[in-house]
A and B are shown apart, each in its own frame.
Chain A
Amino acid sequence: MNDSQTVYIVDDDEGVRDGLSLLLSTVGQSCELYECAHDFLDSYENDKRGCIVLDIRMPKMTGLDLQARLIEMGSSLPIIFITGHGDIPMAVEAMRRGALDFIRKPFREHDLLERINEALNLDEDAHRKALKRQELADKVSSLSEREREVFDKVADGQMNKVIAADLGISERTVEVHRGQVMKKLGARTLAQLVRTKIETQLIEEAV
């Protein structure tokens, strides 16, 4: 378990909240308790890390409503839905919207803790990927305009000679730019450079 990760518990039932909180404390997992969806939304920031254990049925705002709002807000916190009902249509809807899982009350601790772990790992992965993406984006954005043009064409597999002709510069100058790109992006081989390019493209497409 990760100290920087928190399990956010949103359930209108105090007993369930307290029980979850106690159980998680026995495995050293920190958590925060919310009585209703509104309370959670009020304190929500996008940089929160961990996962949400969310009761699907609650007065005023349901778990599904909260999930929809979080998606709108670009949240990536994994959500484990919990419910007292075998409410299939709601479960399907929740899963379709990307919920990690759907657990029926009462829970087996093994299932619950495993799911929470999984969620936290997901969150961790996502976090790490996000960091990596950020790192890559930072590197790419540190390239000059000319270096960026050279990087795109090298990664496209064009020969230095062709690039030089395209850009109307000397082949030597292309080589200097290419060395600068390799250095800035931390790529030692052409293959590494190509992969970085693909990753960058994926990030750009995703945005």
Chain B
Amino acid sequence: MSALTAILGAKRAYVTENFDPGMSRTIASWEDGKPGPVREYALSGTPCAAVMSHGVQIVDCELGRRYSLERSSIGFGCESFVGSPIVNREGEKVGQVCVFGAKPLRDPEMASALVSLAAVRVSAELEHRQQQAALARSEAYSKAIVATAAEGIITLDAGGRIESVNRAAEKMFGYEARELIGRDINVLMPEPYRGKHTGYIKRYVDTGEGTICGAGREVPAQRKDGTQFPIYLAASEVVVDGERCFAGIMRDISEQKMAEESREAVERRFRAVFEQRHQLSGILSVEGEVLEANRKSREFGGVEGESVTGRRYWELPWWSHSFEMQRRVREAIQSAAEGETVRFEATRPRADGQMATLDFSVRPIMDSDGKPVFLVTESHDITEHRLAEEEARQHRARVAHVSRLSTLGEMAAGIAHEINQPLTAISLFAQAGRRLVEAGRFERMDEVCHKLNEHALRASEVVERMQKMARQGENIKEIVDCNELMESTVKLAESEARIYDIQIEFDRGRGLPPVSVDGVQIQQVALNLLRNGMEAMMEEDSRNGRSILIRTRLRPGNEIEVSVTDNGCGVSQECADKLFTPFSTTKTSGMGMGLSISQAIVRAHGGSIDFRNNDGGGTTFWFTLPIVEGEALYER
């Protein structure tokens, strides 16, 4: 600038830059042989404006006459002007170099050339400065970022030696930066990686073998105190001045890892439990979509996991055998989605096609607000259990049947008598009728025929009662009135009572709710008790009449009690102990099975059976039956 003024003999020289539109500012100034202040000025009205719009301008003399520079901070009182625009790389005019002379220019062309040349140089200089500034800024930013970054950042030279360590890395590894700089990066690695890593980078640099860059990965690391921890490392390779160097950004992921591990452990435990369960388990969305099905359930259904997940549970192939099952399962899932637990006995085919009975349940898992978030299905294969139960039941039914037949055999005389009575009546009426017809006395025939029918029906009722007892029995539970059941039992027992000259009294309990029983079996129990009672009374004197009382009543606890009270000899302590044991009998006839079978029957019905010796002599045997609750009744 000073050289320029000296060469041109100029009073002032400026390098300016434009800032706002129409405004310019000096970035370098030389006034009267020394550096001048920064001046800001409006271009308008100055020769500078022409430079910006038309390029290089020369005013060789009488500048003050051409421009009124009185109010401008530059060029006032000067005689000549040379200005050249500063053009940047993009071709924009960003400022100018201008020189004001105190005298008219002696050689305007030379002045113009010099100024233009200066403008070109300034332009280059400015460019360089801008770049420098940008670089410095960027470097400052980088440094700030590196220093304050939460991630540890370590740079290495091509030999794998540590060049820089940021604060986060210091903290992470427990070293101070100065302890690390210059050392091999493997100091931060645990064995056996440490040994293997030595020279790894150098070899990479020399031969290009192996990789160190690319996507981030999890690697083990070691602190100054020797503890190991996992880090997540992203490395990059940079070439600076032809020299390779490496930067690693790392994050301590031990906590994250621990969380992951514990999550994984929970998951593994859940898997282990869920998968290894002996039960068939599944997890469904509240909409009934299968999210998970455990191994057992997949095996059971003969399917692979993928083929069931995402499907509606009730549409799975193993329910397809029954529309009814599908409906029930769907309804159960809908109820569960509303917060209910539903359980019922379901049937579905096994993988081998065999039909299985399952104890099926679906229950909702609630969130903290009590809203179902998913559903858990569970099925327990109870086929074998049911089969065993069924077998036991059938066995019991067979034994009961044999016992009934045996009882009927013992009762044959009484039953024969029971049938003989109406037959006798029929025979008498028929013979009398014939005589009436022979005598032409038809007026009583209506009565005779009526009686014939009445007694024929009476006989058939006896036969029917006996047939019922003799039947194998389908072992079907039916809802019955206990009094009705006992009524017909009493009739059956009466055939024998007559032979023993015993009166059976029946005290009917009032307002008894119905029971769900196998009628024949319960009759068998009551009959057995009545017969035992009658037998116990055989020894007693019959002169004043012997009677046995059967009574029904409602007991607290939703049970009906049937009791049989005799005036017999009572039960001795010795007998009492083995009363319900099979084949124990004090009688000369019979198998000694009666009470043991009665007990089995009553228990199978959910009741109990026992006896007590009465104070006034005699014994009361009783058994209970659970009554049918309202809902079960409606189901029927």
**Does chain B have a CB within 8 A of A27?**
yes
Q: Decide: A106 near B420, CB < 8 A? Known: A15-B455, A19-B427.
A: yes
Interface string of B416-446 (1 = CB under 8 A from A): 1100111111111101100110010100100
- Residues of chain A within 8 A (CB-CB) of B426 are 19, 106
Report the Cα distance A40→B292, complex, angstroms. Answer: 87
The answer, among A23, A25, A61, A62, for a CB contact under 8 Å with B431, is A23
Interface string of A6-42 (1 = CB under 8 A from B): 0000001101101110110111000000000000000
Q: Which of A52-60, A129-137, A154-162, A178-186 contacts B (4 or more CB under 8 A)?
A: A52-60
Are A107 and B458 in contact, CB atoms less than 8 angstroms apart?
Answer: no
Nearest CB on B from A72, distance (A): 14
Q: Decide: A59 near B545, CB < 8 A? Known: A16-B428, A27-B435.
A: yes
Are A15 and B417 in contact, CB atoms less than 8 angstroms apart?
Answer: no
- Residues of chain B within 8 A (CB-CB) of A18 are 425, 428-429, 451
Report the Cα distance A40→B420, complex, angstroms. Answer: 24
**Does chain A have a CB within 8 A of B499?**
yes
Interface-centre pick from A22, A27, A65, A109 (highest chain B CB count, 10 A): A22
Are B425 and A26 in contact, CB atoms less than 8 angstroms apart?
Answer: no
The answer, among B423, B428, B498, B502, for a CB contact under 8 Å with A23, is B428
Q: How large is the interface on A (under 10, 10 to 19, 20 to 34, 35 or more residues)?
A: 20 to 34
Closest residue to A13 on the B side, CB-wise?
A: B421
Are A85 and B451 in contact, CB atoms less than 8 angstroms apart?
Answer: no
Are B427 and A61 in contact, CB atoms less than 8 angstroms apart?
Answer: no
Q: Decide: A19 near B432, CB < 8 A? Known: A57-B501, A59-B498, A84-B416.
A: yes
Closest residue to A61 on the B side, CB-wise?
A: B543
Nearest CB on A from B437, distance (A): 10
**Does chain A have a CB within 8 A of B503?**
yes
**Does chain B have a CB within 8 A of A172?**
no
Q: How large is the interface on B (under 10, 10 to 19, 20 to 34, 35 or more residues)?
A: 35 or more
The answer, among A19, A20, A59, A106, for a CB contact under 8 Å with B502, is A59
**Does chain A have a CB within 8 A of B413?**
yes
Are B458 and A15 in contact, CB atoms less than 8 angstroms apart?
Answer: yes
Closest residue to A104 on the B side, CB-wise?
A: B420
Nearest CB on B from A63, distance (A): 10
Report the Cα distance A90→B543, complex, angstroms. Answer: 17
Closest residue to A25 on the B side, CB-wise?
A: B432
**Does chain B have a CB within 8 A of A105?**
yes
Are B421 and A19 in contact, CB atoms less than 8 angstroms apart?
Answer: no
Nearest CB on B from A67, distance (A): 14
Q: Decide: A15 near B425, CB < 8 A? Known: A60-B501, A62-B501, A85-B499.
A: yes
- Residues of chain A within 8 A (CB-CB) of B423 are 105-106
Closest residue to B451 on the A side, CB-wise?
A: A18
The answer, among A12, A58, A62, A105, for a CB contact under 8 Å with B424, is A105
Closest residue to B431 on the A side, CB-wise?
A: A109
Q: Decide: A106 near B424, CB < 8 A? Known: A19-B432, A19-B451, A23-B435.
A: yes
Are A59 and B421 in contact, CB atoms less than 8 angstroms apart?
Answer: no
Report the Cα distance A92→B426, complex, angstroms. Answer: 28
Q: Decide: A84 near B432, CB < 8 A? Known: A15-B451, A19-B427, A57-B501.
A: no
- Residues of chain B within 8 A (CB-CB) of A109 are 428, 431-432, 435
Are A26 and B432 in contact, CB atoms less than 8 angstroms apart?
Answer: yes
- Residues of chain A within 8 A (CB-CB) of B432 are 19, 22-23, 25-26, 109
- Residues of chain B within 8 A (CB-CB) of A13 are 421, 424-425
Are B424 and A16 in contact, CB atoms less than 8 angstroms apart?
Answer: yes
**Does chain A have a CB within 8 A of B8?**
no
A-B contact number at CB 8 A: 95
Report the Cα distance A154→B439, complex, angstroms. Answer: 59
Which secondary structure dominates chain A's binding surface? loop
Are B503 and A60 in contact, CB atoms less than 8 angstroms apart?
Answer: yes
The answer, among A20, A59, A61, A62, for a CB contact under 8 Å with B428, is A20
Report the Cα distance A62→B543, complex, angstroms. Answer: 9
Report the Cα distance A20→B499, complex, angstroms. Answer: 22
Interface-centre pick from A16, A61, A84 (highest chain B CB count, 10 A): A84
Q: Decide: A107 near B545, CB < 8 A? Known: A15-B451, A27-B435, A59-B498.
A: no
**Does chain A have a CB within 8 A of B448?**
yes
Closest residue to A15 on the B side, CB-wise?
A: B425
Q: Decide: A16 near B545, CB < 8 A? Known: A22-B428, A106-B427.
A: no
Nearest CB on A from B21, distance (A): 137
Are B435 and A65 in contact, CB atoms less than 8 angstroms apart?
Answer: no
Are B424 and A65 in contact, CB atoms less than 8 angstroms apart?
Answer: no
**Does chain A have a CB within 8 A of B221?**
no
Q: Decide: A19 near B428, CB < 8 A? Known: A13-B421, A84-B421.
A: yes
- Residues of chain B within 8 A (CB-CB) of A60 are 501, 503, 542, 544-545
Nearest CB on A from B491, distance (A): 14
Report the Cα distance A27→B421, complex, angstroms. Answer: 23
Nearest CB on B from A112, distance (A): 9
Are A57 and B499 in contact, CB atoms less than 8 angstroms apart?
Answer: yes
Nearest CB on A from B512, distance (A): 28
Interface string of B562-606 (1 = CB under 8 A from A): 000000000000000000000000000000000000000000000
Q: Decide: A59 near B435, CB < 8 A? Known: A13-B421, A15-B451, A20-B428.
A: no
**Does chain A have a CB within 8 A of B497?**
yes
Report the Cα distance A59→B544, complex, angstroms. Answer: 10
Are B429 and A22 in contact, CB atoms less than 8 angstroms apart?
Answer: yes
Report the Cα distance A184→B499, complex, angstroms. Answer: 57
Are A105 and B503 in contact, CB atoms less than 8 angstroms apart?
Answer: no
Nearest CB on A from B364, distance (A): 66
Report the Cα distance A175→B417, complex, angstroms. Answer: 70
Report the Cα distance A84→B499, complex, angstroms. Answer: 10
Report the Cα distance A39→B520, complex, angstroms. Answer: 38
Nearest CB on A from B422, distance (A): 6
Nearest CB on B from A133, distance (A): 35
Closest residue to B417 on the A side, CB-wise?
A: A84
- Residues of chain B within 8 A (CB-CB) of A84 are 416-417, 420-421, 424
Are A107 and B427 in contact, CB atoms less than 8 angstroms apart?
Answer: yes
Report the Cα distance A45→B64, complex, angstroms. Answer: 183
Closest residue to A23 on the B side, CB-wise?
A: B432
Are A58 and B427 in contact, CB atoms less than 8 angstroms apart?
Answer: no
Report the Cα distance A111→B290, complex, angstroms. Answer: 87
Report the Cα distance A65→B544, complex, angstroms. Answer: 11
Report the Cα distance A201→B413, complex, angstroms. Answer: 50
Report the Cα distance A138→B118, complex, angstroms. Answer: 197
Report the Cα distance A47→B428, complex, angstroms. Answer: 29
Report the Cα distance A62→B428, complex, angstroms. Answer: 23
Interface string of B439-475 (1 = CB under 8 A from A): 1010010001001001100100000000000000000
A-B contact pairs, 30 of them (CB 8 A): A13-B425, A15-B421, A15-B425, A15-B458, A16-B428, A18-B425, A18-B451, A19-B451, A22-B444, A22-B448, A23-B428, A26-B436, A26-B439, A27-B435, A57-B417, A58-B498, A59-B502, A59-B503, A59-B545, A60-B501, A60-B503, A61-B545, A84-B421, A85-B416, A85-B499, A105-B420, A106-B424, A106-B427, A107-B424, A107-B428
For the complex with contacts A19-B424, A62-B542, 19 further pairs of A-B residues with Cβ separation under 8 Å are A12-B498, A15-B422, A15-B424, A15-B425, A16-B428, A18-B428, A18-B451, A22-B432, A23-B435, A25-B432, A26-B436, A59-B498, A60-B501, A60-B544, A61-B542, A61-B545, A85-B413, A85-B416, A106-B420
- Report which B residues bind A (CB closer than 8 A): 413, 416-417, 420-429, 431-432, 435-436, 439, 441, 444, 448, 451, 454-455, 458, 497-499, 501-503, 542-545
Closest 4 CB pairs of A and B: A19-B428, A15-B425, A106-B427, A105-B424
